[in-house]
Chains A and B, each alone.
Chain A
Amino acid sequence: MQFAAVNKLIFFILAVLSGGLSARLACRRLNFTEWIYLWAVSFAATMTAAGALAFKYGLSTYEIMLVFGFLSIVLLYLYFNNRKNFEREPLALNPAGLLLLLILAGSAVLRILLMWNTEFPLGDDSYFHCLYARSIQQAGRLIYSMAPYNPLPLKYPWGLHVMLAWASGMTGIPIHSVFKGALIAYSVVSVLGVFVAARRITGSYSAALWSAFLYGLVVNFGSIDYIRWGGLSNVFSMAALLALALLALKKDEGVRTGWMWPVFVLITAFLVHGSAAAVLYAVLASFAVVLFLRGGKGISDGLFHLVTIAVSIGAGAIVAPDIFSHLVNLGGVAGVFEEKYVGVMDFPLIFSIIPAAAAAAGFVILSRRPRQAHFPLFAWTLTLLAGFIASRYGAGLVNYIRSGSAICAFVPSRFVTDMAYPISIFAGAAFAWGFGKLGAVENRLLRWAVAAAVLALCLHIPFQHLHDKWGQTYAGPEEIRAMDWLAANAPQDSLIVNKTDAPGSYWVAYRSGRPTTITSFPQLFHLDFTNAERERNFVQAGMKLNHLVFQSRDWNLLGAALWYFPYSSIYVYSNGPIGVPWAKLAFRTKTIYIYQIKGGQ
């Protein structure tokens, strides 16, 4: 083994140790599945911390290893001081334990298959995240624009991207593969999170298993749908929220919980996505409100949650004042993004009909069966509903009166996405109730027939997803071959005009390492050369137009305009001949034509 490989191995052992042990100490009484879950959340936070130390504070790998080594020793000492509190868990190699393993494995297989045929992760967000991480990796420090790919100032927090860049640098695995792996792994971790939270909330193994089953294999929005758009930052944030809800329940049961771990996880959420963290703060604050209403011990518990939020915002603001300034100005951050309308009546379709209908039934069942541990579930749902109604309808109405457009910039659908978790738990409770009733039916044939029909209805959904996504890819081998040719042959100071309709064009910058005319969402500029007034102004202003999206078919006009751009060479990444005599065909694959329109011999 090479020295560098030994280094990496030692680092991972330290990261695993600090993650695992810090999670073990987050709470004095944990059982095995809860520990594994908190450990996984901790590990993501640890990797983010390592990325921040490397790229923000400029620490070398050795210094970071020293930090984690020291942390591991302290945590080991603390661990051996109170290991007797470990809670015994009735989940082992019994049917319930095996079912849980089966559900986790099924969720993993589904997500792996959904991405089986594609080299790059699917989704508009994926190429943005990967290019952002690549820019950080290339610069070796934090960046505030994706230069040289895109000179516009970045508004997206850097937490996820330092993590991707760091993990990729440590392992030598390309950033997009780390992204894919993390998306699959943390989707499965979330299934486990739904299980451990649902078990505490409902107090029932069968309800928890059904919740995990529905979340992992049936619910679309906020679960399987993450694969479609590349919602890794949201996956991390919600995984953290499930962990914090679990700890809130433990605390409510009178178990001692530490304050450092929730703060650590909340700071990570803050760094990963400021506005997703705002959802976490709101849900935790709603827990606090419920506890205050309860009075007595509830007041100190509620204060604990509020103080945790305040400390993590304060610490986050010290680590990343740039993210903090966006957090306090959320409207400004989201102002560039307009999303497709989703209303309450669309919920059954976007979550999938079965879990949505079951969630309605589960809501009635759990409402009629009060239980102290229900409060995180109801408070979480209520907070998201309130956020959704306020941003979708409230802000929509205000915007309509002010500007004639009922669009809300604060992405109301995020509240719907985040609702998938409580919805799965409600639906799981309904399934447990329904199957309990079914078990009491005497006619055996009827029993099996109904159970098989319901399961078939549920399980057609993963197959539907596979059918839709199988073979879907943003860039196939022929496109990647063209991008690799550019990476090897285009001079560093080249611009690549990537046609919007050419397959894989959004990944050209990431793969080739050269600036392209399409960079990344959410900062697209649509310039249309057929109506060249504005474009001429840009060119005359001497602006580097590497953030334009080219829509024109008039290559003569485009070529003439591009000639003045301050790049030594200009290439066109096209899905067909561009029909311009002066453009030189430089390279060709089955699907992609690369022309050189400036520079070279």
Chain B
Amino acid sequence: MTEMDNKIHALLAFLCAAGIILGIAGDAIFKLLGWAQ
């Protein structure tokens, strides 16, 4: 593991977490607006 590998690992983990949060937000908005059919 180089310093770069560590950075890439952190970036991927961060993006995955951000994706989940974005997904939850999107889901909440779609359900609130009644688009979730």
Contact = CB atoms under 8 A, between A and B. Distances in A.
A212 B35 CA distance: 36
Interface in B1-37: 1-2, 4-6, 8-10, 12-13, 15-17, 19-20, 22-24, 26-31, 35-37
B28 to A, nearest CB: 7
Given A341-B36, A371-B1, A378 B24 contact: no
Contacts of A378: 9, 12-13, 16
Given A343-B26, A344-B27, A345-B27, A386 B1 contact: no
Contacts of A290: 8, 12
Contact of B23 (A341, A363, A388, A400): A388
Interface string A372-385: 10110011011001
Interface string A266-308: 0000000000000000000000001001110000000000000
B8 A375 contact: yes
Interface string A394-408: 001000100000110
Given A290-B12, A370-B6, A385-B20, A393 B1 contact: no
B19 to A, nearest CB: 4
Contact of B26 (A295, A346, A372, A393): A393
B4 to A, nearest CB: 6
Contacts of B36: 341, 343
B26 A363 contact: no
Nearest to B27: A343
Given A341-B36, A343-B30, A374-B9, A389 B1 contact: no
B9 A370 contact: yes
B12 A382 contact: yes
Contacts of B24: 344-345
A389 B16 contact: no
Contacts of A341: 30, 36-37
A293 B8 contact: yes
Contacts of A161: none
Interface string A330-366: 0000000000110111100000000000000001001
A389 B23 contact: yes
B30 A393 contact: yes
A519 to B, nearest CB: 27
Interface in A46-103: none
A160 to B, nearest CB: 30
A385 B30 contact: no
A389 B16 CA distance: 12
A290 B16 CA distance: 14
Contacts of A372: 1, 5
A503 to B, nearest CB: 29
B4 A295 contact: yes
A146 B6 CA distance: 53
Contacts of A540: none
B17 to A, nearest CB: 8
A381 B10 contact: no
A381 B23 CA distance: 13
A400 to B, nearest CB: 6
A24 interface: no
A382 B27 contact: no
A589 interface: no
A171 interface: no
A556 interface: no
Given A294-B8, A295-B4, A372-B1, A367 B13 contact: yes
Nearest to B4: A294
A465 interface: no
Given A370-B10, A406-B35, A389 B26 contact: yes
A344 B6 CA distance: 28
Contact of A343 (B16, B17, B31): B31
A293 B4 contact: yes
Contacts of A340: 37
Nearest to B21: A344
A19 to B, nearest CB: 34
Cβ-closest 10 pairs across A and B: A344-B23, A343-B27, A393-B26, A385-B19, A406-B35, A378-B12, A367-B13, A370-B9, A341-B36, A344-B27
18 contacts: A290-B8, A294-B2, A294-B5, A294-B8, A343-B31, A344-B24, A345-B24, A367-B17, A372-B1, A378-B9, A378-B12, A378-B13, A379-B12, A382-B15, A389-B19, A393-B26, A393-B29, A406-B37
Interface of A: 290, 293-295, 340-341, 343-346, 363, 366-367, 370-372, 374-375, 378-379, 381-382, 385-386, 388-389, 392-393, 396, 400, 406-407
Given A343-B27, A371-B9, A385-B20, 17 more contacts: A293-B4, A294-B2, A340-B37, A343-B30, A344-B20, A344-B27, A367-B9, A367-B10, A370-B5, A370-B10, A378-B12, A378-B13, A378-B16, A382-B16, A389-B26, A396-B30, A407-B37
